[in-house]
Amino acid sequence: MWRVGTVVALHDETVTARTITLKVPDWPGHVAGQHVDVRLTAADGYSAVRSYSIASAPNSERRVELTVERLPNGEVSPYLTQEIAVNDRLELRGPIGGWFVWRTQQTEPIQLVAGGSGIVPLMAIIRSRASGSTAPFRLLYSVRKPEAVLYREELQALSDQDHSLGLTYAYTRVAPKDWPRPAGRIDAALIANTTWPSKLVPTCYVCGPTSFVESASRLLTASGNDPDKIRTERFGPTGERQ
C-alpha cells in the first residue's frame, strides 16, 4: 500500500546528494536498515518506482529521511535532488526489509562496510545506535574522493565522542593530501587492519554498488567471517537501486 509523505525539509549533503525529510502521517515506524519504494507519477499517468534507503533512525515523529544521490543518467534522482520542493508530496511504500536491519537489542560487535551511497542505510543504523546502545561498532567507508563523503561532520562528532564507534575512510580514486593510504579499492590488508577480527564473530553489514558488495563480501569471508554473518544490500552498478 502506498503512503503519502510531505516534504518538510531539504538539505544538500554534497554537490550531488540531497536529504529529503518527509512527514508521513500514517508511518508505522521502521527499523534501521530498511528502505522505501518511492513512486513518481507524471500527469499522463506514466510512473517510475525506485528504492531508497531510510537515512533516519527510528523515531516517534513519523519522520522519514531519504538521502538521494543524483545520477547523471537517472530518471528519478535528478527530480528528487533538483526539482522537488518543500510541501511537495511523495508516494512511498514501506518500510521494507527484514534482513538488512539492525535492532538495538543486538549486542554483538557490528562491522559496517559502505561503498559510496551505500552509507545511507548504515547511517540509519549508526544513528539508531546513538540513542543508547553500547554495542561496539566499526565503519569502513569506501568513497571515490573526499567531496563525495556523506554525513562527514556527523560521523566525526559521533566517533570523537564515542570511542566504541571506529571510523575508517578508504578513498578509491582521489585521496586527500598526505593521506597515509594511496587511493585504491579496499583490499585484504585494509580489512585486516581496520575491521573487527572475525574471531569476535561480528555481524557485518555491507552496502553499495553490486560489484563493491561482491568484492567486500569476498574479502570479509576470506578473513574468516561466516557468510551468514554478512548481511548485504546491493544498489545498481551505478549506485541507484532501480
Partner 1 sequence: MGIISRGFSGRRSAADVKLPPGQYLTTDFPVLSAGPTPHVSLDRWEFTIDDASNGEFPEVLKRWDWKSFRELPSETFTVDIHCVTRWSKLGTSWEGVSLDVLLADVKTDLSYAMFRSYGDYTTNLPLKDVINKQAWIAFKFDGADLAPEHGGPARLLVPHLYFWKSAKWVKGLTLMSHDKPGFWEGLGYHIYGDPWLEQRYSGDE
Partner 2 sequence: MSLDTDDYLDGNAAAGELSNIFAMDVTAAQGQCAHCGAIKRFAEAQLYMQGPGIVARCSVCQHVILRLVKARQRAFLDLRGLRCLILDTSQLQESGR
Q: Which residues bind partner 2 (CB under 8 A)?
A: 35-37, 49, 51, 93-94, 96-100, 209-211, 213-214, 228, 231-237, 241-242
- DSSP assignment of 87-106, as one string? T-EEEEEEEE-SSS-B-TT-
* Nearer residue to partner 1 within complex by CB, 71 or 130: 71
Find where cell 500514517 sits.
26
Residue 211 site contact among partner 1, partner 2, none (CB < 5 to 8 Å, cut-off depends on kind): partner 2
Residue 83 site contact among partner 1, partner 2, none (CB < 5 to 8 Å, cut-off depends on kind): partner 1
Q: What minimum distance in Å lies between the beta carbon of 239 and partner 1?
A: 16
Q: Could you give the 3-state DSSP secondary structure of residue 152?
A: helix
Q: What minimum distance in Å lies between the beta carbon of 209 and partner 2?
A: 8
Q: What minimum distance in Å lies between the beta carbon of 100 and partner 2?
A: 6
C-alpha grid cell for residue 67? 538521502
Q: What minimum distance in Å lies between the beta carbon of 211 and partner 2?
A: 5
212 membership: H or E segment, kind and range:
helix 210-222
Number of helices (H), then strands (E), belonging to the chain: the values are 5, 11
Chain residues binding partner 1 by CB under 8 A are 2, 4, 39-43, 45-48, 73, 75-76, 79, 83-85, 88-91
Q: What minimum distance in Å lies between the beta carbon of 101 and partner 2?
A: 9
CA 59/CA 220 separation, integer angstroms: 32
Residue type, 194: T
* Nearer residue to partner 1 within complex by CB, 90 or 149: 90
Residue 88 site contact among partner 2, partner 1, none (CB < 5 to 8 Å, cut-off depends on kind): partner 1
Q: Is 167 exposed, middle or buried (0-12, 13-18, 19+ CB in 10 A)?
A: middle
Q: Is 28 exposed, middle or buried (0-12, 13-18, 19+ CB in 10 A)?
A: exposed
